[in-house]
Structure 1
Amino acid sequence: MITYPMLKSNAVIGVTAPSSGVPQELHGLLKQATGKMESRGYTIITGETAWTQEKAKSAHAAKRSEEFNQMMQDDRIDFILPPWGGELAMEMLEGVDYDAIKEKWILGYSDVSVLTLAITLKTGMATAHGTNLIDLRGESSDPITAMWETVLKTERGGKVTQTSSQKYQKEWQHENPTPHVYHLTEPTVWKTVSGQAEQVKGRLLGGCIDVIKHLAGTPLGDVKAFSQTHIGGDPILWYFENCALTATDLRISLVQLKMAGWFENCSGILFGRSPANHPVEGYTAEDVYEDLASELGVPVIYDIDCGHQPPQLTLINGAFAEVTVENGKGIVVQEFR
């Protein structure tokens, strides 16, 4: 059984940095983002790690896990929202008190996804893959990003529908933010390896493949035990986003996960758009997707709204999803069951 937290109106948000914090020269972004959330009725409690950054991390691993544990166990705090991702969240996973985790949403992507996936696999509590706090600092949010609130306010037993974006951002222009932060200029087209319309159903699990692949073979990456304990053997619908892997790195990572048993009882795989995926000797990401679809015999859908080329959907680890792709457009229906 999956446990689904519930985001209430005027919630108290805990801001902690399990990966990278915000360096001093960018503190203005964090103040802007927390101020924007406060103007919308939320109360913010900001941890020390959010304000510091040195040697590719916000703080020593022990401090990051301690602050995270405190916020997860603090009854005043309803929701954990890191400022952004980073590089070294993996370091703090051993210090997380999984037995004492209380029912509250954790939302993030990139490096934060190694923490959220580990928590869902270990505890059966749903976690959320989507926008980070810093990207909510704009005057407004685009319709896709803005759905995070609707998704996290969905009650157990309820359904929530999201649709693909009209346009996406090709590259970041941090020095030139728009009213909703992103520069959405490129037409969005969801694609399938089959070239045909596809519909696939299953329990969502996933995150940034650069980092979540390192959970395989550890006690925090036991997909088989999770499946047996929490979802009654329902098929798993994987989603991945690629931050920095070349096409061959991506291929090797997927082979590793296949060998680790992650794709047993898999109903399909979704891949987000990526600024990486660089070809190697003519071997492309599309070749990777075709190879995977052929080996697993399941639909593979790619260039969905997920990852480092926003906007992105809010995808819930543990939720039962039905994903439909037709004529370049996508619909994702998630059921909290």
Structure 2
Amino acid sequence: MIRYPIAAAGATIGVTAPSSGVRKELHHLLEQASSRMEAMGFNVLCGETAWTQKKAKSAPAPWRAAEFNQMMHDERIHLIIPPWGGELLLEILEFIEFENMPCKWILGYSDVSALLLATTLKTGIATAHGANLIDLRGEYADPTTVMWTSVLATKPGESIVQHSSQLYQKEWQHANPSPCVFHLTEQTYWSVAPHSRVSIQGRLLGGCVDVIRHLAGTPFGDVRRFQKETIRQKPVLWYFENCELSKTDLRRSLVQMKLAGWFDHCSGVLFGRSAANQPVDDYTAEDVYHELSEELQVPVIYDVDFGHVPPQITLINGAWAEVAVSDGKGSVKQTFKP
């Protein structure tokens, strides 16, 4: 069964960097994000790794894992939000204390999604794929991303609905800061292969393909055991986002997942928008999506609101989801079923 944490008003956020920390010249971003959380009524406790970065990681793997484990067992802390993603989170998984892990929310995306997926698969604790802490530092948030607080406050057995955004951000404008971190300028349109409208449901699992693909074949990516023992063979509704993979590398990764059994009992696949969708020899992202839909005989919905092209819906690993799309508009209803 799936266990769901609860983040009540006045909860304390633990900020640790299981992947990349924040360099000294960017400490003001972490300070802004912490102040914004406090203005929203949260308490914030920042670990040492959040403030350091050297050789593509915040600290050596055992140190990062030790601070994460400590925060998970610290009764003062109710949820954990890393500052952002990075490159080498995979190094810490062998040091994480999954046995007897307390039931707390972990929120993030990008490299952090490897920790999220591994935690849910290993423990049955729901985890939250959504904005990292640095992305939440603005004076106000867009209507899509701001839903993270409502999603994490949802109680077991209850449901919450999120809708597709009106606009999305085409590119980051770090030299042009604004009261809202994201610059939303482009019309959002969720697409479906092979039809224009669809309704699918299943247990959500997923993350950033760049990193979670490396869990396949390891003790941290045992999807078959999770399906059999935790969700009792209920269908999985996968969601993926691509940060940097070429279209051929994305295709190879999906084939590997299929061969590893990840798509057994799959009801559908969601893909977030990607800035890495350049064709390879006329082979496009749409080709990848349509091929996967044909092979699995399930709908594939793409350009959905999550990942590195914001804004972001908050998706809960382990939750029962009903996703509907019609004429470019979509909704995600998540029910916190055990």
The TM tier, using the shorter chain, reads over 0.9
Q: Deviations over 1:230-284 (max 9, x none)?
A: 1111100000000000110100000000000000000000000000022110000
* Amino acid of the structure 2 residue aligned with 1:280: V
Aligned residues of 1:16 and 1:46 also touching (Cα < 8 A): yes
Aligned residues of 1:246 and 1:278 also touching (Cα < 8 A): yes
For structure 1, the residue ranges without an aligned partner over 5 or more in a row are none
Distance 1:278 1:19 in 2: 27
Shift of 1:180: 1.2
Aligned residues of 1:273 and 1:303 also touching (Cα < 8 A): yes
- Aligned twin of 2:321: 321
- Aligned twin of 2:236: 236
Distance 2:100 2:41 in 1: 28
Distance 2:230 2:174 in 1: 41
Q: Deviations over 1:171-229 (max 9, x none)?
A: 11112122110000000000001132100000000000000000000011000101111
Using the size of structure 2 for normalisation, the TM-score is: 0.99
- Aligned twin of 1:62: 62
* Amino acid of the structure 1 residue aligned with 2:48: E
Aligned residues of 1:6 and 1:153 also touching (Cα < 8 A): yes
Q: Residue 216 in 1 paired to residue 216 in 2?
A: yes
Q: Residue 44 in 1 paired to residue 36 in 2?
A: no
Aligned pairs, how many?
A: 337
- Aligned twin of 1:106: 106
Distance 1:333 1:266 in 2: 18
Q: Deviations over 1:2-23 (max 9, x none)?
A: 0000011000110000000000
Distance 2:197 2:284 in 1: 22
- Aligned twin of 2:308: 308
The RMSD of aligned alpha carbons is 0.6
Aligned residues of 1:250 and 1:277 also touching (Cα < 8 A): no
Distance 1:310 1:303 in 2: 11
Distance 2:329 2:296 in 1: 24
Aligned residues of 1:177 and 1:183 also touching (Cα < 8 A): no
Distance 2:56 2:169 in 1: 26
Q: Residue 276 in 1 paired to residue 276 in 2?
A: yes
Distance 2:156 2:182 in 1: 32
- Aligned twin of 1:23: 23
* Amino acid of the structure 2 residue aligned with 1:44: V
* Amino acid of the structure 2 residue aligned with 1:164: S
For structure 2, the residue ranges without an aligned partner over 5 or more in a row are none
* Amino acid of the structure 2 residue aligned with 1:186: E
Distance 1:35 1:306 in 2: 25
Using the size of structure 1 for normalisation, the TM-score is: 0.99
Is the partner of 2:120 in helix, strand or coil?
Answer: helix
Distance 1:93 1:229 in 2: 21
* Identity between Structure 1 and Structure 2 (%): 63
Aligned residues of 1:73 and 1:100 also touching (Cα < 8 A): no
Distance 2:178 2:331 in 1: 26
- Aligned twin of 2:73: 73
Q: Deviations over 1:316-336 (max 9, x none)?
A: 000000000001000000000
Distance 1:175 1:54 in 2: 24
Aligned residues of 1:204 and 1:316 also touching (Cα < 8 A): yes
Distance 1:285 1:124 in 2: 32
Aligned residues of 2:196 and 2:328 also touching (Cα < 8 A): no
* Amino acid of the structure 2 residue aligned with 1:178: S
Alignment of 1:70-219 (within 5 A): 70-219=70-219
Distance 1:109 1:44 in 2: 19
Distance 1:158 1:232 in 2: 20
Aligned residues of 1:245 and 1:278 also touching (Cα < 8 A): no
Distance 1:208 1:270 in 2: 12
Any runs of at least 4 consecutive aligned residues in structure 1 with deviations exceeding 3 A, and if so which? none
Aligned residues of 1:319 and 1:335 also touching (Cα < 8 A): yes
